[in-house]
Amino acid sequence: MNASVHAALERVVDPEIPALTIFDLGIVREVNVTAKRVEVVITPTYSGCPAMHAIEEAIRRALDAAGFTDATIRTSLAPAWTTDWISAAGRDKLAQLGIAPPGARAATAMPLHFHRSPLPKVPCPRCGSPATERLAEFGSTACKALYRCRDCREPFDYFKPI
Amino acid sequence: MAGHYGSSEHIEYLLRLGDNALVLGQRLAEWCGHGPALEEDVAMANIALDLIGQARLLYAHAGRLEDCGRDEDAIAYLRDPPEYRNATLAELPNSGVASAGAAQGDYAVTTARNLIFASYHCEGWRALATSSDRDLAAIAAKSLKEARYHLRHASDWTIRLGDGTEASHRRMQRALDSLWPYTHELFETDAVETAVAHHGIGIESASLRPSWLAIVRPILTEATLAIPGDTAFRSTGKLGRHSEHLGYLLAEMQSLARAYPGAQW
């Protein structure tokens, strides 16, 4: 039963990056399966992430389809999600999509003032060149920044470490 | 002593935090489609999204504590201006205090306000991450990460505009001068804060001013901007006594929810 719950959840993907499952993203915090009940605990990436509601609905549909019709889906805020929870497989998939995966978490030590501390190096996900530059702190979604490769000249998204 | 878990002071305190986030978020959302550059348009919408998300979490928590059937939507959409508890600074128009009513927003005003609020939020959320209210502590830990990004963005632009051209410097200084008197309210401790601080739920905001200044001062210095002098003026938004601007903001934000009660997407 545990395995079939997991198999159902493996089919739920991030609506904004459909290559990534909710396990790849690290937003599934607990899956509690007993003889009678299924409980899934998820955590939002960003407070205002508009995909959260869609993900919850998708989990419910996937569990329904697998026969777990009265599953409980709970949201937990603590501990706060970090990009460190994105799996190795998730990072590979991001890179294949042309999205630079997040570097090591910088949230707690992040410089408030980046003029004084150099930005982390973000290699180009297409050609691997380290010669990249940031175009904008905010990108196509809340979780990404916009970069450009100075070698292959391609712009790309960078999944911001938080 | 008042201010215990679930008390009216506790709920009032959560509403102040949520209202600051929602009203500032609504102001930033006004830039959507009107930003000075596409990247900045996207940045303002993203920051607004974070702030509105934080407000939702705070309202949902306040609604559960209140236990009288108000959800996050009722709290956001069905309160009148005097029931709002945001600091007045959050509701001032994007065009600034001096040119209120101007159709165009002034990016210097938005940059200065974002710098003030993002640094204030960084310090506030950091302190609240150890709140005895575990839900508030969780919201604070999450919001702190977002506020750091907002601060980075605002510092960058403060320096770029302040230490930019003669015109950008003049406008940035003017924006800072006009908003500075409204910063005092952010650090005015009152009975509500003292009560929740006594129970380890909240903090006395006066205690944040030194560390807030320690963030803001070096950024303004690098931006070649003069830190305005302190004045006796005190705005009173968090007590529910607002400027004339909040009513217009809420009228626009609430019109759909008020015209079609219970509307669903």
Interface of B with A in 156-215 (CB under 8 A): 156, 159, 215
Does B223 contact chain A (CB < 8 Å)?
Answer: no
In a domain, B265, yes or no: no
Q: What does the block give as tokens for A126?
A: 């297409």
User: In chain A, which segments carry CATH 3.30.300.130?
Assistant: 2-81
CB contact under 8 A, B50 and A50: no
Chain B partners within 8 Å of A160 (Cβ): 149
Give the SS3 label for residue A90: helix
* C-alpha of B3 from chain center: 23
Residue B12 has φ and ψ, to the nearest 5°, of -60, -40
Chain A partners within 8 Å of B153 (Cβ): 137-138
What pLDDT shows up at residue B144? 95
Nearest CA in chain B to A141: B46
What pLDDT shows up at residue B62? 98
Chain A nearest-CA distance from B42, in A, is: 7
Does A70 contact chain B (CB < 8 Å)?
Answer: no
Residue to test with chain B: of A137, A143, A158, A159, most B Cβ within 10 A: A137
CB contact under 8 A, B50 and A48: yes
CATH number for position B14: 1.20.1260.10
In a domain, B3, yes or no: no
* C-alpha of B261 from chain center: 27
Parallel, antiparallel, or unpaired: how do β-strands A38-42 and A28-33 relate?
antiparallel
Q: What does the block give as tokens for B248?
A: 């217009």
In a domain, B264, yes or no: no
Measured at the CA of A98, the angle between CA A112 and CA A20, to 5 degrees, comes to 90
Which residue matches tokens 């599934």? Answer: A28
Domain span at residue B125 reads 8-259
Residue to test with chain A: of B114, B149, B216, most A Cβ within 10 A: B149
Among the partner residues A48, A112, A136, nearest to B53 by beta-carbon distance: A48
Q: What does the block give as tokens for A71?
A: 């599953």
In a domain, B218, yes or no: yes
Nearest CA in chain B to A115: B156
In a domain, B1, yes or no: no
Calpha distance B60→B52 (Å, rounded):
12
In a domain, B69, yes or no: yes
What pLDDT shows up at residue A34? 87
pTM: 0.92
How confident is the model over A46-92, as pLDDT tens digits? Answer: 888 888 889 999 999 999 999 988 899 999 998 999 999 999 999 99
Interface of A with B in 123-152 (CB under 8 A): 135-142, 146
What pLDDT shows up at residue A112? 52
Full pLDDT tens readout for chain B, 265 residues: 689 999 999 999 999 999 999 999 999 999 999 999 999 999 999 999 999 999 999 999 999 999 999 999 999 999 999 999 999 999 999 998 877 666 689 999 999 999 999 999 999 999 999 999 999 999 999 999 999 999 999 999 999 999 999 999 999 999 999 999 999 999 999 999 999 999 999 999 999 999 999 999 999 999 999 999 999 999 999 999 999 999 999 999 999 999 998 888 7
What pLDDT shows up at residue B79? 97
Among the partner residues A49, A80, A140, nearest to B53 by beta-carbon distance: A49
In a domain, B43, yes or no: yes
What pLDDT shows up at residue A114? 46
How confident is the model over B146-171, as pLDDT tens digits? Answer: 999 999 999 999 999 999 999 999 99
Options 3.40.50.1820, 3.30.300.130, 3.30.1650.10, 3.40.50.300; which CATH number does A2-81 get?
3.30.300.130
Four-CA torsion B213, B198, B242, B251, nearest 10 degrees: 110
What pLDDT shows up at residue B35? 93
In a domain, B153, yes or no: yes
**Reported ipTM exceeds the 0.90 cut:** no
Full pLDDT tens readout for chain A, 162 residues: 688 899 999 999 998 888 999 999 999 999 999 887 899 999 998 888 888 889 999 999 999 999 988 899 999 998 999 999 999 999 999 999 999 998 876 545 454 554 455 567 899 999 999 999 998 888 888 788 999 999 999 999 999 888
Chain A partners within 8 Å of B151 (Cβ): 112
Calpha distance A137→A116 (Å, rounded):
16
CB contact under 8 A, B57 and A77: yes
The number of distinct structural domains making up chain B is 1
